[in-house]
Structure 1
C-alpha cells in the first residue's frame, strides 16, 4: 500500500527529471551565445568552470568523504578518467554541432543514444533484451542506413554524440555508485591539465576570447559550470526518486526540443532522406517508450501486491 507521504519524493523526482531534460533541450541556445569563442575554448572553459563550481558544491553537499573514497580507489579513478575523456569528446562534438548549424544532427545523436546504450549493455554486459527493445534497435539501425544512403554521407556528429555518451554511461556504471557531484568533480579535475593547456595555447596565439569580448561574454562562458552542474544534480535527484523506466521515456524530450529548435530557430532544412531517417528514429523511440510503459506498469502491479 502506498502512503501519502511517499508520494512527495516521487512528485519531486518527476519535477526534477522534467526540468533536467528541459534545460538540456535548450542547450543549443546557450552555446549560440558563446560566439565568437571556438568549440575547443568553450569546452576547456566548461571543464574549468565546472570544476570551480564543484569545488563549491562538494562542501555544501557534504561529499568530502565520498570524494576521498573515490580518490583512494585507483580502478575507479581510471574508469572516471576515461569517462572524462569521453565526456570531453561528447561536449566538443555537441558544441561543434550547435555552433555550426547542425543542431538537427545533435538531436539525431540524442535520439540514438538510448538505443546505443541498450546495445552496449547487450554486447559488453551480456544483458537480455525484450522484444520491443530488439525492434527499436533494428529500426534505429535502418534509420542510420537510410540517412547514409539518401543524404549521401554518414551523420558522423550524431553517431559520435550517441556512442561517446553511451560509452560514458557504460564506464560510469562500471565505476559503481559514485554521487553525481563527486563524479563530475573527479572527471573535471582529471581533465583540468588538458583544459589548462588548451587555454594556454589559445592565449599564447591571441585566440582566447574569454577576457577580450566584454563582460557579458565572460559571464556567459563562466556560466558553463553552472549550466553543466545544475541539470546533472537534478538528474541525480530524479534518478533516486522515480523509476528507471520513467527516465527512459522522458529522455526523448531533449532531442525533440532540439529538433524543434533546429527547424524554427536555427532554420535548418531537411531533405527527403533525412525526414525518412528521422521518422524511422521516432518509430524506434516509440518502441522503446512502449517498452518503458510496460515495465512501469509491471512495477506498479508488483507494488500493489
Structure 2
C-alpha cells in the first residue's frame, strides 16, 4: 500500500507541476472568447482535481506530525507565491496593499482562519477522517449562502432556503444517531466560509492577498519549527532527498490549485466556476471509501444523502437563476 501511495503522489506531483506551468504560460490577451472560456474550464477542473487529490499527498506524510507538515506548507507556499508575484509583475499590488493598515488587519484575521483550515485538513487526512473532510467541503457552499444572508444582507431564494434546511437536517440526523456533531466537517466548512466572506469584502488582488496571508503565518511557522518541532524529520539536512522534496511539494499542493482557480475565475463567471466545486469533495469521498477503507456508517451515509440532495437543489436553482439573468 505504501508503494502505491508514493506512486500516486508522484503522479500528483507531475500533474500539479504541469498545471502550474500551464498557468504561468497561459496567454491572457489576444485570445478569442471561446478559447478563453475553454481555458477557464480547464483551469477550473484542474484546480478542483488537485484539491480532491490532495489527501493522497498528505497520506504519504502520515508518519510526520500534522504541525510539522503545516510548517512546511506555510514556508514553501510563501516562497512559491513570492516567486510567482515577481514572475508575473504583481509586486505593485502587494506594495499597495501593505500601505493600507486596515486591509492588513483584515488580512491578518483571514490568515488565522486560512491557517486553521489548512492545519485541520492535514490533521483530518492523516487521522483517517477524509470522509469528514469531504462532508465539510460539500457543506461549504451552503455555509456561504447562510453567511451571505447574515452578513451581506443577501436574500435567500425559496429553493436556496430549502437546500440549507436539508443540510441542517442532515447534520441533525448525525447528531441524533451518533450523539455528536460532525465537528471536523463543520469546522472545515465554517472556517473556509468565513475566510471567503472576509476576502469577498476586501478589494485586494487575490494572489497579493494570499502572499500577505502566508507571510503573516510565516514568522510563526519558522519560530515553531526552530523551537517546538523536535522530531527525526525536523532537520532537513538529515533527511533523504525524496522526503525533502515531499516537504517542498507542500507549497505546490497549496498554491497550484489556487493559481488555477484564479485563472478560471478570470475567464468564467463565478456561478459557472461554482458548478465544478463538487469535484474536490467527490474525489475525497471516493478515496476515503474505496481506497483508504474508512468506515461509512449508515447514519453518516444518510447525512451525505441529505447534503447531496441539498446541493442538487442549490445547483439547479443557481442554474435557473443564471439563465434568467443571462436572457
- TM-score (normalizing by structure 2): 0.87
Q: Hey, what does 1:263 align to over in structure 2?
A: 289
Q: Hey, what does 1:62 align to over in structure 2?
A: 89
Please tell me whether residue 39 in structure 1 is matched to residue 37 in structure 2: no
Superposition pairs of residues 62-141 of structure 1, within 5 angstroms: 62-141=89-168
Please tell me whether residue 191 in structure 1 is matched to residue 217 in structure 2: yes
**Structure 2 unaligned regions, length at least 5:** 1-30
Please tell me whether residue 282 in structure 1 is matched to residue 317 in structure 2: no
Q: Hey, what does 1:10 align to over in structure 2?
A: 37
Q: Tell me whether 281-290 or 211-220 shows the greater mean CA deviation.
A: 211-220
Please tell me whether residue 248 in structure 1 is matched to residue 274 in structure 2: yes
1:202 touches 1:208 (CA, 8 Å); kept in 2? no
Offset from partner CA, 1:91-124 (integer Å, 9 cap, x none)? 1110111000110000000001111111011011
Measured after TM superposition, the shift of residue 298 of structure 1 is 2.2
Offset from partner CA, 1:226-278 (integer Å, 9 cap, x none)? 12111111111111111221122211111111000001111011111111111
Measured after TM superposition, the shift of residue 206 of structure 1 is 4.0
Superposition pairs of residues 223-234 of structure 1, within 5 angstroms: 223-234=249-260
RMSD: 1.4
**Structure 1 unaligned regions, length at least 5:** none
Please tell me whether residue 147 in structure 1 is matched to residue 174 in structure 2: yes
- TM-score (normalizing by structure 1): 0.93
Return the alpha-carbon distance in structure 2 between the equivalents of residues 298 and 7 of structure 1: 22
Return the alpha-carbon distance in structure 1 between the equivalents of residues 195 and 79 of structure 2: 22
Please tell me whether residue 236 in structure 1 is matched to residue 262 in structure 2: yes
Q: 2:52 aligns with which of 18, 25, 30?
A: 25
Offset from partner CA, 1:144-188 (integer Å, 9 cap, x none)? 101111123211111100000000001101222x22221111001
Q: 1:222 aligns with which of 244, 248, 265?
A: 248
Measured after TM superposition, the shift of residue 201 of structure 1 is 2.6
